[in-house]
Structure 1
Amino acid sequence: MTALLDTRRALEEQFAALGERVESTRREVVDTVASQAAELRGDNRETRTRVNSLSTALSETNKAVPVLRQEVADLARSLQALHAAVDDIALRLSHAPELPRAGGAPSSARGHDLAGGVAADAGTPPAIAEPGVPETEHEESVVLGPEDAGVLRSEQKPAPASPAAASPAAGPDQASDTGPTDDADLMESRARSAESGSAADDGKHSRARHDNILRSAGTAGTVEITCHRELWEFIQQRADDTPHFRAPAALVEDGGDRVRAILSGRSVIGVLIAMRATQLDSAPYGKDDGTWALSEAVYDRLAHDLATTSRHGGTPLTIVFDDGTAPETSPASE
C-alpha cells in the first residue's frame, strides 16, 4: 500500500513538472510568434510606404513627360527659326556688294574727309555725286567699307553713285548695274523675315487651338470611338504613356474588323495629347511619315467632331473612323 502511494506521488510530481514545461514552452512560442508578427507588420507598413512613394514619383514623372516633350518640341522650333535667321544673315553678307578701293587704300575708308567729300589718301579721286542723290547719302556710300555693306543694305538702300565715285570714267549704265541686285536681295530678305514671322504666328495659333480642343474634350462626358481594330491598337499604344488616358475595360465588336471604344472626356484628353506629341516627334516627310499621318488624321478628326458639342446636347458624341465612297446613284431617267 505504501508503495502504491509513493508511486502515485511520483507520478503526480512528474505530471506537474511536465505541465510546467508545457506552459513555459507555450509562453515562449506565443512570445516568439507575437514578436515576429510585430516585425512583419512593421515591414509591411514600410513596404506600403515605399510603394506609395514610388507610385507618387511615377505619377509625377508621367505628368512631367508630356510637358518635357512639349518643351523639347518648342525648343526645336526655336532652334529651327534661329538657324533660318543665321542662314539669312549669312546669305545677305555673302551677297553684300564690296565697295571698290581707290589707289591701293585699305578696306576701311574711315580716314576720308566727310565734310569736303575728298579722300585723305593722295591717290583717291574725289567722289562724283549724281543729280538727285542727297549729299549725306552719297558720303555714306563712300565712307562705309565692305564689312558694313550688310548693315547699310538692311537700313538704307545703297546710293547708285558708289561705282561712279570709285571710277570717274564709268558711264551711267555701269553705275546702275548693282541696283537691281541690291533690290532683289532686299526683297528676298524681307520675304524671309515675313516667313519667319508667319511661322511664329502659326505656332501660337496652333497652341491656342490645341488648348481649346482640350477644353472641349474635358467637358465631354462620354465619347464613343468607332474605328478599325489596328487603328485602335495604334491609338492605345500611343496614349498609354499619358497620365490621363484610361483604356476601356472591353471593346465592343462592330463588325468588319471594327471595334467601338467608350471613353471619358479625360481619356480623350490623353489621346489628344498623345497624338499631338506624336505629330511633333515624327517627320512629315521622312522615315516616320506614316506615324505622322496616322496621328494627324486621328487628331484632326477628334478636333473636328469635338467642335460640334455643346453643354445643352444630350446625345453622347460618336466619332467614326470609317471613311468610304458614297453609293453610286442611278442615272436619271430621261
Structure 2
Amino acid sequence: MARRDFEKILGELGEIRRVVNDSSSGLAGLRKDQEDLRRKVLETVQQGTTGLREENRELRRRQEKMLTDLADARTGVEALRRELAQAFSHIVGTPDPAGAAERGSSLELEQREPRPLDVTDVETGNGWREEAVNEIPGPVSDGEEEQRDRNGLPEVVTVPAAATQVSPAVGAAPAEPSVDPAAPASGDAEQQRKEDHAQHLESVLRAAAIASARVICHRDTWSFLIEQTSQHPHFRLPERINDLDDGMIETSLSGRSVLAVLVTMRKVSDDYASVDEDMATWALACAVYQRTQLAVTDTTHTRPDGAQVTTIVLDDRPTATNQAA
C-alpha cells in the first residue's frame, strides 16, 4: 500500500516536472508571457508619453502665439488711446504749437522791425537824436554846407535861448558815465534760474519713486492736463475717473504719468511765458506744475505706517474769514 502511494506520488511529481519544463505552458512560457506583457506596457506608456509631448508642444505654441497676439493687442490699444487723446484735444481746441511758434516769430519780427518815428517818440527822446530838434531856418553859407555834406555831419540849426535852456535836460543823460544797472540783476536772474532748475530736477527724481498720486481738480482743468500731456510717451490715461460735487473729478495717476505732467507743464510754462496772447495757458500750466511739485516735495523715501497717498489738489477756495467778511 505504501509503495503504491509512493509510486503514485513519484508519478505526480514527474508530471509536475514535465509541465514545468514544457516550453509552452511551463516556466519558459510564463517568462515569455511576462516579457510580452512588459513589452506591451512599455509600448503603451511610450505611445502615451509621445502623445502628451506632442500636446505639450502644441499648447506651448498656442501659448506663445497668444502672448504675441496679446502684445499686439496691447500695442493697438495704446495707439488707439493716443489717437483718441489727439482727437479729443482737437475737439476741445488745443492750441497748435506750430501756430504758437509762428505767432511768436511774427511778434519778434514786429518788435525788431524799424518803424517810423511818432510824435511821442520825439517828445520822449526815443529814436534818432537828429529828429528830436526842430529845424529853424537861418542863413547858412555855402562853404559850411558843403563841409557838412563831406563829413556826413547832421545839419546844425540855430535855436532860441529858451530852447537851449530846456534841451540840456533832455540830452544830459547820455553825457553821464554809462553804468549798467542790469548787470547785477542779470546775475541774480541767472542764479534764480539755476535754483529753479535744481528744484525741478529734485521734483522729477521724487516723482519717479512715486507709485501713484491722487488728483483732485475741475473737469475742465483735467481736460487741459490731458490736452497738454497726452502726447508725452510716459503719460498713461487712468482707468477710472470719479465725479465729485461742483464739477470736480478725482482720479489716480501713476508715478510715470506724474513725471510726464511735471516735464510737460514745465515746458508749456516756459514756452508761453513770453507770449501775451495766451496767458491763460501759461497760468494753467504754472498752476498744475506748482501743485504737482508741491505734492511730490512732501514725499519720503520710506513708507511709514498710516502714510497718506500723494495728492495733487487744484481747488483754491476762500477762507472762512473771507467768507464771513
Q: TM-score range by the shorter chain?
A: 0.3 to 0.5
Larger radius of gyration: 2
TM-score by length of 1: 0.44
TM-score calculated relative to the size of structure 2: 0.45
